[in-house]
Amino acid sequence: MSKNLSHLSGRKGLDLNLFEQLGISAETAGTPDPNRLQELEKEFLFGKANLHGTVSFYDFLKEENKGKKIYVCNGTACMTAGTQSDLREQLKVSFTEEEIGEMCCLGRCHENSAYHFQGQNYSGKAILEFDGSKTQHNNQNDHYHVASSGRDVITTPMVDLDVYYEILEAVLNNDPNDGLEALRISGLRGRGGAGFPISFKLQSCRDTPSDTKYIVCNADEGDPGAYSDRYIMEHRPHALLLGMIVAGYITGAQWGVLYIRAEYPESILTISNAVESIKQKGWIGENILGSSFSFNFKVIKAQGAYICGEETALLSSLEGQRPEVRVRPPFPTQEGLFRKPTVVNNVETLACIPYIMKHGGEAFADIGSGKSTGTKLISLDSFFNRPGIYEVEMGTSLAYVVYTLGGGFKSPVKALHIGGPLGGLVPVSKIADLDISFESFVSQGFLLGHASVVSIPESFPIIEYIRHLFQFTAHESCGKCFPCRLGSTRGYEMVEKAMVSDYKIDRTLLQDLLETMEAGSLCALGGGLPIPIKNALQYFDEELKAYLK
């Protein structure tokens, strides 16, 4: 059935996109108007149950979102910082409990106290100026420290656009295989967590015959604690756009789709403006710069679902389907968006491409360590003396990032959760043993992932953090596979029961549950959650033993 729905949705292409229309229909009330849903059912030939399954999944489409006027960030970084309870109490002066919703995460991890009001994000001291009026005081653009150590790929200052897009002209004057070979030599691996070489994806898509192909940017940066993709979209948007155009030229794709999370309204606006600016310059559209290559962009606003960070769930989402993970094979490069060959990569990965096209694959491969080539953006949260975005060469020691670039901690911290909810839970005692590379983290039983850093203070109970991770996964699971859907819920129930009663968690039972999730889940949501839980059991046994048999 899902294949049929893909084709039905694809009949109208991207100009009239079902998922986009659902979002538009929910803008006024917070959930789609029933009459409009009936119109969309007929227009796209989707059954009522299919659209209900879609609408009821997303945080900003579901019926429960109706009437929400303001949203509090419930991301992990804000949670460990302990700012959100006071924030919520302050908002209750102007709003009822029913009018206050939640968003995860707003990417304001560097200063916390984050909330979303009337299409804009606020954080830090902004709440002190809030008066509850229908028009907020001003548009608060946040500020955070940005720096690089060693050679810079993404944070390098932007030059004049006419000069920058000379890279595109040079690429179009060469054979697409030249660009593909440069990426292969560079060793560029996905920066979204999996670390898969981008050249493999581009080659597979290029080799798959089709009249239509897509480059999809996964800008659904849902990992709490991460805001590096947001930095790129808001401050280096043309690195991303040019990277997508080049990827399109290499594969023969005609469309670039930017799937940007609703929690990043500033990113959506900046990218949309950047797309319009290069359209006016003639750098996208039909027969770009007199070549036979045509390429256009479509910006899609997501609607609140962490699972859409998984590439196949994202593709189902774009089609207006319930965002459930797809079984592979076939892989997206063979059957992706609307069942056409599609390359899906995250923001940072695509933004590295222009550097490689300009300087060559060897120059990029010369940066880094082993199979972890190039640089990596790291997000440091508010517990650091210098929170912000740092670009470091792969292989840089974690200790240097924490104590030199970040300036150490403002208050005592016992662990760093690196790489999002599915990343490694690193005790401070292990910081000296790690460097910023995929291999280093895996060898120590961790996962680099997005390289977001959430600090866990000495005062925050690890058992409470484990409960949060299980609860987060249970809420965000797409529900397609039992190990993730049931395992996360049973895990949450066990931990919750141990926290509120004299119940003791059976270690063997917990290990069995984690191994089942790890081995049986369809994607990294259920399969990756066991990593931080196992890390916690290994390094914080003394603190946890009161809750364990």
Unique residue bearing structure tokens 């809750």: 547
Sign of CA dihedral 300, 23, 114, 306: negative
Burial class of residue 466 (count of CB atoms within 10 Å of its CB; 0-12, 13-18, 19+): buried
- For 84, other C-beta atoms within 10 Å of its C-beta total 19
For residue 466, give both structure tokens: 């484990």
Burial class of residue 406 (count of CB atoms within 10 Å of its CB; 0-12, 13-18, 19+): buried
293: left (phi over 0), alpha (psi -120 to 50) or beta: beta
Task: Specify the pairing of strand 413-418 against strand 452-457.
Answer: antiparallel
Q: Give residue 192's pLDDT.
A: 81
Q: Give residue 2's pLDDT.
A: 75
Helix (H, G, I), strand (E, B) or coil at 183: helix
Q: Give residue 12's pLDDT.
A: 87
Phi, psi of 478 (to 5 degrees): -75, -20
Distance CA 91, CA 102 (A): 12
Domains of the chain in start order, with CATH, are 70-129 (3.40.30.10), 145-365 (3.40.50.11540), 376-457 (3.10.20.600), 462-547 (1.20.1440.230)
Q: Which run of H or of E encompasses 35?
A: helix 34-44
Distance CA 39, CA 43 (A): 6
Instruction: Please answer whether residues 146 and 157 qualify as being in contact, where contact means their C-beta atoms are separated by less than 8 angstroms.
Output: no
Distance CA 480, CA 477 (A): 8
Instruction: Please answer whether residues 239 and 368 qualify as being in contact, where contact means their C-beta atoms are separated by less than 8 angstroms.
Output: no
Going through 212-335 in order, the beta strands assigned E by DSSP cover 214-219, 255-260, 296-301
Q: Give residue 161's pLDDT.
A: 96
Q: Which residues of the chain have pLDDT under 70?
A: 1, 132-140
